[in-house]
């Protein structure tokens, strides 16, 4: 088992450093920094500090070759979304589009969701209003902040995916 840490920067609370064995990567994080995971709320734009595991990976097969990983991985398709409606029974879960309640489209024009790493945030059990769609995904070129996710460059993501396994803890640490 490998322990991975994502530590919030003291100098810039919307950036972080991810570290593991022989691995270091700059990351962007939530627009409003980090928050203890039990205090997080839907739409707060904060990265929930806590310990998680990787549940699943999705990738855009029209843009990226199948990444090498020991984690369950599936290709994205234009009909996939993620429910962010706290009143819906599929809150914080993968859904098929069209979907009548509030949701995030996973097939995007930009490249940030070309790879999505689903982590164990608010999923066992799912608690309404405690936050949804907190992923690891690709960073924008300027490392601009996210809505609460952790984002890194493609080369770093591919290296991470080649090393991580489902039992590895991911520690998101606030400064």
Report how far apart, in Å, the C-alpha atoms of 70 and of each of 7, 54, 57 are.
24, 10, 10
Q: 47: which 2 tokens?
A: 């990265």
- Look up the pTM and report it: 0.98
Residue with tokens 């990567």: 25
Rounded mean pLDDT, 127-153: 98
Q: Is residue 9 part of a domain?
A: no
Per-residue exposure over 97-116, b if at least 16 CB sit within 10 Å of its own CB, e if not: eebeeebbebbeeebbbbbb
In a domain? residue 21: no
DSSP state at residue 154? H
- The dihedral built from the CA positions of residue 49, 51, 18 and 94, taken in this order, carries a sign that is negative
Q: What is the CATH number of the domain that holds 164?
A: 2.40.440
Q: Give the chain's mean pLDDT.
A: 98
Q: Is residue 97 part of a domain?
A: yes
Any domain includes 119: yes
Residue 133 maps to a domain: yes
> pLDDT for 23-43, tens place per residue?
999 999 999 999 999 999 999
52 inside domain: yes
The pLDDT-based confidence of 83 (bands split at 50, 70, 90) is: very high
Q: What is the pLDDT of residue 119?
A: 98
Residue 15 in domain: no
Active site residues: 137, 149
Please report which confidence band the pLDDT of residue 120 belongs to, taking 50, 70 and 90 as the band edges: very high
Task: Tell me the residue range of the domain where 130 lies.
Answer: 26-173
Q: How many C-beta atoms surround the C-beta of residue 170 within 10 A?
A: 24
Give the confidence band of 135 by pLDDT, cuts at 50, 70, 90.
Answer: very high
Q: What mean pLDDT is predicted for residues 131-140? A: 98
Residues paired with residue 20 on neighbouring β-strands, in sequence order: 23
In-domain check, residue 32 = yes
Q: Quote the number of domains for the chain.
A: 1
Sequence-ordered strand ranges (E) for the chain: 4-8, 15-20, 23-28, 34-36, 47-52, 54-59, 73-75, 80-83, 94-96, 103-105, 115-119, 135-138, 150-152, 170-173
Q: How confident is the model at residue 75 (pLDDT cuts 50, 70, 90)?
A: very high
pLDDT for res 137: 99
Classify 15 as helix, strand or coil. Answer: strand
């Amino acid at each position: 088992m490998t322990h991975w840490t994502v530590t919030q920067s003291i100098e810039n609370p919307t950036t972080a450093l991810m570290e593991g064995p022989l691995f270091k990567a700059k990351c962007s994080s939530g627009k409003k920094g980090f928050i203890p995971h039990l205090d997080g709320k839907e739409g707060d734009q904060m990265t929930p500090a806590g310990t998680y595991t990787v549940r699943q990976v999705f990738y855009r097969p029209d843009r990226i070759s199948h990444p090498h990983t020991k984690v369950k991985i599936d290709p994205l398709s234009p009909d996939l979304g993620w429910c962010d409606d706290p009143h819906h029974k599929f809150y914080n879960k993968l859904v098929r589009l069209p979907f009548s309640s509030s949701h995030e489209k996973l097939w995007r024009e930009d490249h940030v969701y070309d790879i999505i790493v689903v982590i164990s945030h608010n999923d066992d059990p799912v608690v309404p209003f405690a936050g949804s769609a907190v992923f690891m995904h690709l960073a924008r070129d300027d490392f601009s902040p996210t809505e609460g996710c952790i984002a890194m460059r493609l080369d770093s993501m591919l290296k991470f995916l080649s090393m991580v396994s489902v039992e590895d803890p991911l520690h998101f640490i606030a400064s």
